[in-house]
Amino acid sequence: MRTADLLQFNLRLLLRQRFRTLMSLLAMAVGVAAVLLLTGLGEGARQFVLNEFSLLGSDVLIMLPGRKETSGGIPPLTGEGTRDITLEDALALERLGSVQRVAPLIVGNAQTHVGGRSRELLTVGTSAVFFRLRELVVRQGQALPVIPLQRAEPVAVIGSNTRRELFGHQKALGAWLRIGDRRFRVIGILDDRGESLGLDLSDGILIPVAAAQQIFNTQGMFRVFLQIRPGSPMPQARNDIQALMQQRHGGERDVTLITQDALLGAFDDILQLLTLGVGAIAAISLLVAGILIMNITLISVSQRTREIGLLKALGASARTVRLLFISEALQLALVGSVLGAVTGYGLLALGHWFFPLLPFVVSIWALGAALGIAIATALVFAWLPASRAARMPPVLALQGLAR
Amino acid sequence: MIRLVDLSKTYQLGDQPVKALDQVDLAIEAGEYLSVMGPSGSGKSTLLNMIGLLDTPDSGRYFLAGREMNALNEEARAAERNRRIGFVFQAYHLLERLSARENIELPLVLAGMAPAERRPMVDQIIKRLDLDSRASHLPRQLSGGQRQRVAIARAVIRKPALLLADEPTGNLDSHSGAEVIALLEELNNQGITLLVVTHDPAIGQRAARRLRMEDGRIIDDSGATQPPSADSRHAHR
């Protein structure tokens, strides 16, 4: 039988039993759409997180106080330093040949006052370099000024939420605010997208690092970001930095250096596993659709016993009869899969439209897997009933007696 | 053209073995017109199914057009059915979802013939059997006589050498029945070998060669008459 004739023969059959066809199409489509939707969401979340963290660039090292093993598992995000990383350490690091930029970081919560209003806000002490490292965009005004690290200039850059919370409709730029017992002038307002490395800067205030030292009454840095000079190999830079810190800290290796890659790798693994997990759960619905197709094919075979006998009398071999039933199931699965794929990606696109932060991901592997599973289940589950039809003795089938 | 040698077939009916065919010997020449009569369960339908390659014998040999059929596998038997044998059934066996034209076309479709090649053949048979006005109708929109004409058209579309009719008038009134028989006889006149299984003596008597069966045996054979040849006069009484 020619392929075109086969398709048309099946189409006739499927159109005649519209309700039945519709139900199996629905089952298939829901299964495929579920797989695509869930893996798409998982993959979107993964890419969102990766984007968020890769802002750092692969040439940036993060130094934290205290010694932690970074092999295996998630790298430490909190360090318990035996000895502080001081501003002097940061300045010494800046002079290293393999280091291009150094951005120290002190983070804490501090009570902030404007007029009568008072809020406890995330306060970040850092330098102008931090803005370049994290690609922070200043919407209004300017970033922190380039000043020696030791100078506690009374200026602040505030996040967009902070501006709303503290100033409401008043003009924020140029206004004064008070953190603890110190006064700062607002010189800049960050753009909305302020989240980075788990710190939501849109709810925060950025001030010079020396000022933060005074407010929090601390010498030690929370983190130090180090950007490697272009052209210097990462391992060598790492060794240089470790050696310098060891020398400055009385021979003790008491700082931890982590790269973005190590951080990302751990997240990536977890999220990928999560995506696979939800995808597998959705794939079960495809299996259910496959079983539905088997039932439908079984019913089709028993309803069409006489037809099978006739087709055999007219010269259809067992192989042709099997092909007829399998191709019918396959056609259902294919059309259902395509409908499901369109629906799944449509919903993802809709989700992206409503939540633009979530990337719209068309993952080819998920599409391939969903279609593959749909077609494979249809094939496997139609095989049994189709073989039953193929085996029917023509004489009994013609009388409607074969089973 | 057809030669059955010592053909036997036993069915299990409940726990009772029934000899549907009991060492049947038969030779049929090309172009003959045979009727097979006999009481229910005498084996006449089994004989027809055997000749039509729908059933396989327990023992004995079957030659069709000089080739031994027992040796063929299912695939080859299907191809032989498609090419050499046309079936006409009492219950028409038309596919309800297909139009008359598409039903007639079915054997060509199963044979894998290209649409351009099929069209003139179907046109021709529709014209010849006077079904022009009914070609696009579904079977349920046709009368019994018209349905059987469609079934006959389908049976002869591949220009088979052999036409097997199992009670072709069983579901028809006498007028439509007479028309169908006339059509079958006309096809026989044009050279096709015709074998009709029937209960109706009036129809059975019309055949040039009449077989009577009982308990799986051919108990009476009026002998080959057309075309007359010494070989086919091999009577089995």
Q: What is the ipTM of this complex?
A: 0.90
Stretch A373-397: mean pLDDT, rounded? 91
Burial pattern A98-130, b for ≥16 Cβ within 10 A else e, equals bbbbbbbbbbeebebbbeeeeeebbbbbbbbbb
From residue A42, give the alpha-carbon distance in Å to each of A270, A286, A359. 11, 19, 10
CA B230 to chain A, closest CA, distance in angstroms equals: 33
Please tell me the distance from the alpha carbon of residue B119 to that of residue A197, in angstroms, as a whole number: 72
Rg (CA), chain B: 18
Determine how many CB atoms are found less than 10 A away from the CB of residue A285.
17
Rounded to the nearest 10°, the torsion over CA B139, B143, B144, B150 is -50
B139 has a chain A CB within 8 A of its CB: no
Closest by Cα among A197, A255, A259, A256 to A234: A259
Chain B residues 111-130 within an 8 A CB cutoff of chain A = 111-112, 114-115
- Lowest mean pLDDT: which of A48-62, A311-325, B115-129? A48-62
Q: How confident is the model at residue B234 (pLDDT cuts 50, 70, 90)?
A: very low
| Residue A92, Ramachandran bin (φ over 0: left; ψ between -120 and 50: alpha; else beta) | alpha
Q: Using one digit for the tens of pLDDT, what is the confidence trace for A156-172? A: 999 988 898 888 888 88
State which amino acid sits at residue A227.
Q
Please tell me the distance from the alpha carbon of residue A46 to that of residue A278, in angstroms, as a whole number: 13
Give the full edge-to-edge strand order of the sheet including B16-28. B16-28, B2-13, B59-64, B67-68
Closest CB to A313: pick one of B81, B115, B158.
B81
Closest CB to A315: pick one of B78, B97, B115.
B78
Q: Which residues of A touch B12 (CB under 8 A)?
A: none
State whether B54 and A13 contact (CB < 8 Å).
no
B174: exposed, middle or buried (Cβ count in 10 Å: 0-12, 13-18, 19+): exposed
Tally the domains of chain B: 1
B182 has a chain A CB within 8 A of its CB: no
State whether B74 and A306 contact (CB < 8 Å).
no
From residue A343, give the alpha-carbon distance in Å to each of A186, A292, A367. 49, 20, 12
Which range scores top for mean pLDDT: A161-175, A248-262, A275-289, B196-210? B196-210
State yes or no: pLDDT of B235 exceeds 50. Answer: no
Q: Using one digit for the tens of pLDDT, what is the confidence trace for A218-262? A: 888 888 999 988 888 888 888 899 899 888 888 878 888 888 777
Which structural domain range is residue B185 located in? 2-233
Scanning every residue of chain A, which has its alpha carbon at the shortest distance from the alpha carbon of B157?
A: A314
Closest by Cα among A290, A373, A336, A294 to A29: A336
- The pLDDT score that the predictor gives to residue A195 is 53
CA A317 to chain B, closest CA, distance in angstroms equals: 5
Beta bridge partners of A113: A118, A178
How many inter-chain contacts (A to B, CB under 8 Å) are there?
69
Closest CB to B78: pick one of A2, A309, A317.
A317
Please tell me the distance from the alpha carbon of residue A310 to that of residue B167, in angstroms, as a whole number: 16
What DSSP character marks residue B207? S
Burial pattern A189-215, b for ≥16 Cβ within 10 A else e, equals bbeeebebbeeebbbbbbbbbbbbbbb
State whether A314 and B98 contact (CB < 8 Å).
no
Residue B21: which CATH number? 3.40.50.300
Domain ranges of chain A: 3-52+272-398, 83-253
